Amino acid sequence: MSKFEKDLLTGMGRLLILLARMGGEAEQSRLTKEMGGTYYTAIMKAIDHDLVSKEGYRVSLTEKGKKLAECLLNCLSSI
């Protein structure tokens, strides 16, 4: 399993799902409340993979991130 795949199964995947459920964007304070201290590492990894963008205190899914988040949500809803 690649590092990217492992990240998707942990904090970064959780971040994508959370953002998708919040309409594609959220304030960092809200993410901190939902994810705890792991949110910052997840955001940085997602930025490295061009899955989210960050402007100021606002984090948003990119088009690539939206597609991947939808895929994760579809997989989880079918279980």
* pLDDT averages per 10-residue partition of the chain, 79 residues: 77 92 93 87 93 95 96 84
The number of folded domains in the chain is 1
Full residue range of the structural domain in which residue 67 is found: 3-77
Identify the pLDDT of residue 4: 73
pTM of the model: 0.86
Identify the pLDDT of residue 43: 92
Identify the pLDDT of residue 50: 96
Please report, as a single letter, which amino acid is at residue 56.
G
Identify the pLDDT of residue 38: 84
Residues forming a β-bridge with 24: none
